């Protein structure tokens, strides 16, 4: 029997809902596979619509377009076996399906069984299939059995359905896994362990997907006997080949060392890819960004420069500008200018003090009254200026706000809370600190390394209250507590939903004597109080990429009402505090 030639790939073009463009991208892959003499081509889940097309996937117009496109693909495939994903309607139900071509037609289709609650809004599980609307066998028990043109046995399944090692010689897996920093190693380990001695071809969703909340890497993997024969990604993300051990204090990141360096680079690349795809989709050539001289805007600057590079645009298309006002310190103002110059950008500055003062006069607010109005007016003026600049340059205004600030509500509603794309929305403050530190180590630009290091050493501050002698007066961690604790609470709360008692135990184990039991409980209570009270700011978040596998987005992350009560959590924490007092 001749050697088997297998090709796994995502689509190189297309976009959610554009069935015709996606079908053309599939046909392009078919021609590539045929030219290479392949026996099997495996493409991603729902590649004809995009896995991110959501509720509209089940629209009759979409279903009919997919049916016609599938027939065209089957006809073009000839003797090449092609496995690709699409929605199909059988009876009065819609299913997430994998079509398998035969000689000019279909060998059959496989229906996905294991669905998330969001997928169940659109699809029925395969086990609920009754009858058939397709002139071919329909497999609804998690895997389908087929034959390649040379007679070899082929199993086809969705990655989410696969639980046991395949019985066939060849396995085709369709995936829809979003990119997560450091997640490549876990994916590869799972796949090589699952496939055993079978030759396995995996194709993951890619650049034809939406970047509303997630970025897809288009990873294509071929393995056999536990060995990786091919591992590639259209996004250019470096495919990680090994798993890593998490840092107990920062469980979303690896322990310090080579794995952390790779993780930091992947996180930056995912954020930049999300922005780059969004720019390309809407034809944006420029970006506007307010540069404060702090961590978040520095991270946004690095992602923006990389996004421009990905899209083949000059870095001068980034309109980065410092926007000092009443509370801006000499140190951060200088760092903002130094950072711009180190990156080869004009040292732009727009002092908003006069415009905010005029606004105070317009609304009758005393300029010396340093309250919420005084602080928020500055944040909202900056947002207005940056959005108007984005309109001037036909671009996007980037939001630098991070997930830690969103969790704690430490952001101005309609100010820094709002943007045209929140590039840092999927990053914790502590993760950003790790990433900026890695960027300082990686750069070959000494001036950039120096200013990045200075920014890392600067206290975190919103700088909205005038300081003394040009120095920082507000220090965020004096108000909110250490970010390393808040991010620890946030990550575990969203990832595994521990009780306050369990969270206390995890924190004591992770931090040891660094924080007392009393301080952990006090900060935990503050975290949950602020988290619940601030949901209204998260209910209307702009788009932004989920980078670490956790999201606060109301679309794909946390489903929570804006007026939910924190009572159960705060009462449990109070009981733990009272217990300590009684001991």
User: How confident is the model over 421-446, as pLDDT tens digits?
Assistant: 999 999 999 999 999 999 999 999 99
3-state secondary structure 50-79: CCCCHHHHHCHHHHHHHHHHHHHHHHHHCC
Q: What is the mean pLDDT of residues 502-528?
A: 97
Residue 346: which pLDDT band, with cuts at 50, 70 and 90? very high
Contact at 8 Å (CB) between 301 and 320?
yes
* CATH architecture assigned to 284-476: 3-Layer(aba) Sandwich (3.40)
Q: What pLDDT shows up at residue 239?
A: 57
The answer on pLDDT for 580 being more than 90 is no
Ranges of each domain in the chain: 6-233, 284-476, 481-583
Q: Does the pLDDT of residue 507 top 80, yes or no? A: yes
Give mean pLDDT, residues 197-205.
Answer: 92
pLDDT beyond 70 at 1: no
Q: What is the pLDDT of residue 235?
A: 63
Which residue in the block uniquely carries the two structure tokens 């045209």? 420
> What's residue 317's pLDDT?
98
CB burial string 136-160: b at 16+ within 10 A, e below:
eebbbebbbbbebeeebebbbbbbb
From the options 1.20.120.450, 3.30.2270.10, 3.20.20.150, 1.10.10.1140, give the CATH code of 481-583: 1.10.10.1140
Once rounded to an integer, what is the mean pLDDT over residues 492-501? 96
The pLDDT > 70 percentage for the chain reads 97
Whole-angstrom Cα distance, residue 353 to residue 464? 11
pLDDT (0 to 100) of residue 117 = 87
Q: What is the pLDDT of residues 103-161, one digit of tens each?
A: 889 999 999 999 998 899 999 999 988 776 677 889 887 778 999 998 999 999 999 99
Judged against a pLDDT cut of 60, whether residue 241 lies above it is answered with no
State the SS3 of 203-240. Answer: ECCCCCCCCCCCCECCEEEEEECCEEEEEEECCCCCCC
Strand-pair partners of 564: none
Rounded CA separation 331/292 (Å): 10
What is the value of pTM for the model shown?
Answer: 0.94
Torsion angles phi and psi, residue 344, rounded to 5: 75, 25
Q: So what's the pLDDT on residue 140?
A: 83
Q: What is the CATH T-level fold of the domain 6-233, as seen in this structure?
A: Nitrilase/N-carbamoyl-D-aminoacid amidohydrolase (3.60.110)
Q: How far apart are CA 143 and CA 156, in angstroms?
A: 6
Residue 286 has pLDDT above 60, yes or no: yes
Averaged pLDDT score across all residues of the chain: 93
Mean pLDDT of 270-287: 96
Whether the predicted pLDDT of 226 surpasses 90: no
């Amino acid at each position: 029997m001749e050697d088997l030639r297998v090709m796994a790939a995502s689509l190189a073009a297309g976009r959610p809902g554009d069935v015709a463009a996606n079908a053309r991208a599939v046909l392009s892959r078919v021609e590539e596979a045929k030219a290479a003499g392949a026996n099997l081509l495996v493409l991603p889940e729902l590649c004809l619509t995009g896995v991110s097309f959501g509720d509209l996937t089940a629209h009759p117009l979409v279903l009919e377009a997919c049916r016609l496109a599938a027939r065209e693909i089957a006809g073009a495939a000839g003797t090449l076996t092609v496995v690709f994903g699409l929605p199909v309607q059988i009876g009065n139900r819609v299913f997430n399906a994998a079509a398998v071509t035969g000689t000019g037609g279909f060998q059959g289709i496989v229906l996905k069984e294991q669905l998330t609650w969001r997928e169940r809004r659109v699809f029925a599980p395969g086990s609920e299939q009754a009858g058939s609307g397709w002139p071919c066998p329909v497999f609804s028990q998690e895997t389908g059995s087929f034959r390649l043109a040379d007679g070899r046995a082929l199993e086809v399944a969705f990655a989410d359905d696969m639980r046991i090692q395949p019985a066939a010689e060849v396995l085709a897996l369709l995936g829809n896994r979003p990119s997560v920093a450091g997640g490549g190693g876990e994916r590869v380990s799972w796949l090589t362990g699952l496939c055993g001695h079978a030759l396995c071809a995996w194709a993951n969703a890619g650049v034809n997907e939406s970047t509303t909340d997630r970025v897809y890497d288009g990873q294509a993997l071929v393995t056999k006997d536990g060995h990786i024969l091919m591992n590639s990604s259209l996004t250019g993300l470096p495919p990680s080949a090994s798993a890593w051990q998490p840092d107990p204090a920062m469980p979303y990141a690896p322990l310090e060392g080579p794995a952390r360096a790779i993780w930091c680079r992947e996180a930056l690349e995912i954020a930049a890819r999300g922005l780059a795809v969004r720019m390309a989709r809407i034809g944006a050539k420029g970006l506007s960004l307010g540069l404060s001289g702090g961590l978040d805007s520095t991270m946004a600057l690095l992602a923006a420069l990389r996004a421009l590079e990905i899209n083949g645009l000059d870095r001068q298309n980034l309109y980065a500008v410092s926007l000092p006002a009443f509370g801006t310190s000499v140190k951060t103002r200088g760092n903002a200018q130094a950072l711009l110059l180190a990156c080869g950008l004009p040292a732009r500055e727009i002092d908003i003090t006069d415009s905010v003062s005029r606004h105070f006069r317009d609304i009758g607010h005393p300029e010396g009254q340093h309250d919420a109005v005084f602080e928020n007016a500055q944040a909202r003026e900056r947002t207005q200026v940056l959005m108007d600049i984005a309109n001037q340059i036909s671009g996007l205004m980037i939001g630098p706000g991070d997930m830690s600030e969103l969790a704690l509500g430490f952001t101005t509603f309609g100010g820094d809370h709002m943007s045209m794309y929140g590039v840092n929305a999927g990053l914790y403050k502590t993760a950003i600190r790790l990433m900026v530190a890695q960027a300082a180590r990686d750069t070959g630009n000494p001036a950039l390394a120096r200013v990045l290091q200075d920014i890392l050493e600067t206290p975190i501050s919103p700088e909205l209250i005038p300081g003394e002698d040009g120095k920082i007066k507000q220090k965020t961690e004096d108000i909110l507590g250490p970010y390393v604790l808040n991010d620890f609470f946030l990550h575990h709360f969203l990832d595994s939903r521990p009780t306050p008692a369990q969270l206390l135990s995890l924190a004591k184990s992770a931090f040891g004597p660094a924080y007392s039991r009393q301080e952990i409980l006090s900060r935990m209570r503050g975290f949950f109080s602020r988290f619940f009270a601030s949901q209204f700011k998260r209910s209307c978040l702009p788009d932004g990429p989920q980078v670490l596998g956790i999201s606060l987005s109301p679309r794909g992350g946390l489903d929570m009402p804006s007026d939910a009560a924190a009572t159960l959590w705060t009462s449990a924490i109070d009981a733990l505090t009272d217990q300590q007092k009684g001991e």
